[in-house]
Amino acid sequence: MITPLAIIIALVIMYLLNAIKILKEYERGVIFRLGRVLSKAKGPGLIFVFPPIDKMVRVSLRIVVMDIPPQDVITKDNVSVKVNAVVYFRVMEPQRAVLEVQDFLFATSQLAQTTLRSVLGEVDLDGLLSEREKLNAQLQEIIDKHTDPWGIKVQLVEMKHVDLPDNMVRAIAKQAEAERERRAKIIHAEGEFQAADKLTKAADIISTNPQALQLRFLGTLTEIATEKNSTIVFPLPLEIMKAFLHKGENEK
């Protein structure tokens, strides 16, 4: 026969078992007792929550990786782009994260979206594409400043993709091609200048020594003579004739 005492004991045991809560190493419990928060978050491990007097809110201390959906951004030079990013943050003070804001995950997401649009709207397209590290640091600093009262630390903000309009993609490709052509022309002009400088110096050296000019002339003929299918007609240098005439006069 079940006695009233046994029923009471069973109810007490069930109540105590229901009051036992186990928090993981990365979890903390913010306890509200009669509507007032306790001075310190509980956990990890075994804790007691006595309903209906107590109410517990679980808060994870792990890093949250939050994806920011693509945002329509108009840059400083009036180019419309879509930019998405990812935010890494974690709760440092569980009580403030529960008390200061209704839903800290949703609030952080909305803050990151508005900050992304406002910051990127102040730079031109070239800066958006070439200064990502600087912009990421600026976004992280601004978002972290606004989430600090909520007990949240923003550790990193990274822009993932910048989607450009098709006409802008073609314009950037043309710009890159024009830049490559400009560099190629500069390199070619520098080569021509260096070659002309070297040829001028070589001509100055050869002009001071007629024998060197004759040797250069004969070397050129040797190079041309390698092509056996060509007939070469060339004038005989006067310097060579003078050398033979001078030799004949000496023999007389």
Per-residue model confidence (pLDDT) at position 224: 65
pLDDT at 123 over 80: yes
Q: What region does 18 belong to: left with phi over 0, alpha with psi -120 to 50, or beta?
A: alpha
Which of 145-149, 175-179, 196-200, 209-213 shows the lowest mean pLDDT across its residues? 209-213
Per-residue model confidence (pLDDT) at position 189: 87
Q: What is the dihedral of CA 67, 68, 69, 70, to 10 degrees?
A: -130
* Three state DSSP letters for the chain: CCCHHHHHHHHHHHHHHHHEEEECCCEEEEEEECCEECCCCECCEEEECCCCCEEEEEEECCCEEEEEEEEEEECCCCCEEEEEEEEEEEECCHHHHHHCCCCHHHHHHHHHHHHHHHHHCCCCHHHHHHCHHHHHHHHHHHHHHHHHHHCEEEEEEEEEEEECCHHHHHHHHHHHHHHHHHHHHHHHHHHHHHHHHHHHHHHHHHHCCHHHHHHHHHHHHHHHHCCCCCCCCCCCCHHHHHHHHHHHHHHC
pLDDT at 125 over 60: yes
Per-residue model confidence (pLDDT) at position 62: 95
What gap in Å lies between CA 200 and CA 205, rounded to an integer? 9
Q: Burial-class residue 247 by CB neighbours within 10 Å (0-12, 13-18, 19+).
A: exposed
Task: Give the model's confidence band at 216: pLDDT under 50 very low, under 70 low, under 90 confident, else very high.
Answer: low
What gap in Å lies between CA 51 and CA 48, rounded to an integer? 10
Task: Give the model's confidence band at 6: pLDDT under 50 very low, under 70 low, under 90 confident, else very high.
Answer: confident
Comparison of pLDDT for 179 and 251, the residue scoring more: 179
Task: Give the model's confidence band at 56: pLDDT under 50 very low, under 70 low, under 90 confident, else very high.
Answer: very high
Summarize the confidence of residues 59-75 as an average pLDDT.
Answer: 93
Per-residue model confidence (pLDDT) at position 175: 72
CB atoms within 10 A of CB 117: 14
The token pair at 18 is 């229901």
Q: Give domain 64-164's CATH architecture.
A: 2-Layer Sandwich (3.30)
Summarize the confidence of residues 101-124 as an average pLDDT.
Answer: 94
pLDDT at 73 over 60: yes
pLDDT at 237 over 60: no
Summarize the confidence of residues 233-241 as an average pLDDT.
Answer: 58
Sheet holding 36-37, edge to edge: 36-37, 27-33, 54-60
Task: Give the model's confidence band at 185: pLDDT under 50 very low, under 70 low, under 90 confident, else very high.
Answer: confident
Summarize the confidence of residues 31-42 as an average pLDDT.
Answer: 91
